[in-house]
Chain A
Amino acid sequence: MSTAAEPRERQLVISGWAVSSPYGLGRRAFAEGLLARTAATAPVDTVKWPVPYEDAGLIPGFDIKEVLGRKGTRSMDRATGIAVVTVGELLEDFGRGLAADPEKTGLVLGTSGSVQSIMDFTKDALTGEKPYLVDPARFPNTVMNCPTGQSAIRHTLKGPNVTVSGGSATGLLALNYASRLLRGGHANALLAGAAEEYSVQRARLERVADHGGAEADPLGEGAALFLLESGDAARDGGRQVLATVLGSRFRAFPESGRAGAALARCVEEVLADAGAAPEDIALVAPGTPAGLLGKQEESALDGVAGERIAVRPLVGDATAASAAFQLAAVLAHAGARPALVDRLALVTALDRDGTVGATLLRLG
């Protein structure tokens, strides 16, 4: 998507962010842990989580009822809880004024839903006294837009409410979806990002997935969300421009060995659209997938300048939330280093099912 020709006031900017991660709830814990390069994955309590993994990147002590209270949380699953909490944090810290126009404020959330909720529901149907004696209050949890819809309900977001999914590229796809909605005039401001939950069933399913011929990384969880609006709207709302979204590019690769070439094309095109050069890039937050895909990413980024920020090795494989975490990591670095203002940052993603993507930002 080209934005180079766009007047500055109509460019889309990120004017707020929130994160719930294996470092804990909130931006501060995330930024501190990430900048200090502290590993957030730890040995998992396999009594509570009977999973085929030794380590996990869990949000420490995350308990939905403790964070959100008892009201309306009886049937809430972990994916939904994480999304609702993170959306709440974003609105609380950056949403001043948005509440006045709930119909023009919406949410584009990347998630694969909760496989745990889906399988638990079916299990109840298969093991109950009657095949239909399931808890009806848990039925909406088995539909993948539950975290998105519940976040809107809890925080009164009446604008577009969209759920997107695309494996490791999900966060970048969500940001691009939100950008199109804003340019199409469907909203004034959108919260965009992604959420992922840790669960026993996800761990079982991920265990047998294709990890590029390598051992699977520990799984992580959490959410990162960004407030996306026009530069004008941010200034009118008294919000600081944290980054300008210069554009995103996506391509598909037919086999893993060609993922690098596809990603290199994405990077080339997103730079060309923005009238920028590889040497202008100050920060790169790659997806660092395991195995062959990771090697393909390295080769694609070979000629790209800029300091590499590794996120996945610290927080684990957060699948749907991974690219959103990478974007959050860029903002964490930018927040700590004023010298990065006006410099470019690149976030890349490679998904095992064939999608690569690159998003380019101008910081500050």
Chain B
Amino acid sequence: MSDRTAATGRRPAARHRVVITGLGVVTSIGTGVDAFAEGLRGGRSGAKPISAFDTTGFAHSNACEITDFEPEAWLRELPADELGRAAQFAVAGARMAVADGGLTEADVRARRSLVSVGTTDGESRDLDHLTGLQVAQGEDTLDPVVARRVWPGRLSAGIVRELGLEDVETVTVPTACAAGNYAVGYGYDAISSGDVEMALCGGADALCRKTFTGFYRLGTIAPDVCRPFDADRQGILTGEGAGILLMESLESALARGARIYAEVLGYGLSCDASHPVAPDRDSIARCITAAHANAGITPADVDFISAHGTGTRANDVTEVGAIRQVFGEDLPRTVSIKSMIGHTMGAASALASAACALALREGFIPPTINHRTTDPECGVDCVPNEAVEADLKVVQNNGLAFGGNNAVLVLGHWEDERSAVA
């Protein structure tokens, strides 16, 4: 990556380098950056029977549910019942990211900032609840407290209100299961252009009946666990959580002596414009290439890929096909942390970004767990079952979504001793 400085200077619009200095994560394998890192390194599994809703009548019903989340532990300003579960996750993640970044709320308040939160379902868990009330008690029955918190804008607005931010642009990005990468990419552009100094970006979603039922009906819910790239893979497990990244310009991070997890080198977006649910190989390949160009890297620079890796028959083959189209036969190791935390929907690529940032900082590649035999049709080294130590420079994080919405993020290693040429 000796060409990185040159690469960053490639586009005249990119005036600032952008780094990640804080992580906030709520996941089924651990809440908080240390627990999450330990979970990733240890190959922990979040799979368990669903308790979020009644699963009577489903032949199988595992998910990566979070069973130990206490909103009161994180909310200091807002009453818990003002926020749906997804917004509670998002707010908890933001509080963690700020603290992990060595900042106080006042520090963040003092800067012009962006809050962008991706989601697939928003507060669909609350909409499930309201629908249940209508079915049980009549069409016009409504719980007004729940009804007021269902709009997706509240995921990002919740963070802003809880932290008391005022000089801030607040936006929710409901671009389905690639939304986390969209939100982080937006933060990158906002900081890089000099529009804002700091950003809290990521994604959040809560387990809900609606989404479990939809995937079940499509035949894509695994009966036991999620096995990405495995010959016997049977689909996804739905999951929940939030990943929020504290991002700032390199100057800002250096000036305050912040610990830097990773540099955001760039990202790419593409749309299949072909099918609402079936991913398109060429379009994903185009997205990867766009991300590399935006980051100023070549495929040879990439040390591992955090795949979208849902574990369905179709996704994994199509995704690896797209990667092969860009990288040729010499593929970097390609892992899926969905094997551990399930498919957390709008949080998925945000949590994967957090995992990539940890991997770059600590020098390891998270494993793909539950793995038995690699599907020859995929043919990747998915780092089966055990994390490996690795000296990493550049990591690629894939996000793919319904609607043919692809977003690929590229993160780079930050060496503390490197001279600060911004």
Contact = CB atoms under 8 A, between A and B. Distances in A.
Interface of A: 1-2, 50, 52, 102-103, 106-107, 111-113, 115, 118-119, 121-123, 125-127, 130-134, 136, 139-140, 142-146, 148-150, 152-153, 155-167, 170, 173, 176-177, 180-181, 183-186, 204-205, 207-210, 250-254, 262, 351, 353-355
Interface in B106-141: 119-122, 124, 127-128, 130-132, 134-135, 139-140
B142 to A, nearest CB: 6
Interface string B49-85: 0000001111000000000000000000000000000
23 contacts: A2-B195, A112-B151, A112-B153, A118-B121, A119-B130, A122-B128, A122-B210, A131-B213, A144-B121, A149-B276, A149-B404, A152-B272, A158-B270, A159-B270, A160-B270, A166-B156, A177-B171, A183-B13, A210-B148, A250-B170, A251-B166, A251-B168, A354-B170
Contacts of A170: 153
B229 interface: no
A102 B147 CA distance: 40
Given A176-B169, A252-B161, A149 B403 contact: yes
Contacts of A156: 273
A143 B172 contact: no
Chain B interface secondary structure, helix, strand, loop or mixed? Answer: mixed
User: Which of B13, B55, B210: most chain A Cβ within 10 A?
Assistant: B210
Contacts of A148: 175, 403, 405
Interface size on B, as a range, is 35 or more
Contact of A144 (B55, B174, B272): B174
B294 A186 contact: yes
A121 B132 CA distance: 12
B218 A139 contact: yes
B381 interface: no
Contacts of A251: 166-168
Given A185-B294, A251-B166, A252-B170, A153 B273 contact: yes
Given A122-B210, A159-B269, A160-B269, A134 B217 contact: yes
Interface stretch (B182-190, B304-312, B321-329, B371-379): B182-190
B243 to A, nearest CB: 19
B102 interface: no
Nearest to B124: A118
A136 B172 contact: no
Contact of A113 (B171, B174, B192): B174
Interface string B256-290: 00000000000011111111110000010010001
Contact of B122 (A113, A130, A186, A254): A113
B168 A164 contact: no
Contacts of A164: 171-174
B160 interface: yes
Contacts of A181: 189, 269
A84 to B, nearest CB: 12
A132 B269 contact: no
Contacts of A50: 139
A119 B131 contact: yes
Nearest to A120: B131
B402 interface: yes
Contacts of A208: 142, 144, 147-148
B120 A143 contact: yes
B294 A126 contact: no
Given A161-B404, A355-B170, 5 more contacts: A125-B209, A134-B213, A142-B210, A148-B405, A210-B148
Given A146-B403, A173-B171, A354-B170, A102 B217 contact: no
A205 B186 contact: no
Contacts of B274: 153
A161 B403 contact: yes
Nearest to A247: B195
A158 B135 contact: no
Given A113-B174, A183-B193, A102 B273 contact: yes
Nearest to A115: B127
User: Which of B154, B164, B170: most chain A Cβ within 10 A?
Assistant: B170
Given A143-B176, A148-B175, A180 B189 contact: yes
A150 B272 CA distance: 11
A155 B213 CA distance: 30
A263 to B, nearest CB: 12
Contacts of A102: 273
B403 A209 contact: no
Contacts of B151: 112, 165, 167, 353
B250 interface: no
B217 A136 contact: yes
Contacts of A127: 135
Given A126-B131, A142-B214, A143-B402, A162 B189 contact: no
A134 to B, nearest CB: 5
B139 to A, nearest CB: 7
B276 A150 contact: yes
Contacts of B209: 122, 125
A158 B58 contact: no
Given A131-B58, A209-B148, A149 B153 contact: no
Given A131-B213, A132-B217, A165 B171 contact: yes
Contacts of B176: 143-145, 149, 163
Contacts of B131: 119, 122-123, 126
Contacts of B215: 139
A140 B277 contact: yes
B271 to A, nearest CB: 4
Contacts of A1: 193, 195
A354 B276 contact: no
B58 A250 contact: no
B36 interface: no
Contacts of B418: none
B67 to A, nearest CB: 22
A177 B195 CA distance: 12
A346 to B, nearest CB: 18
A184 B276 contact: no
A28 B388 CA distance: 63
Nearest to A130: B57
B120 A204 contact: no
A337 B216 CA distance: 56
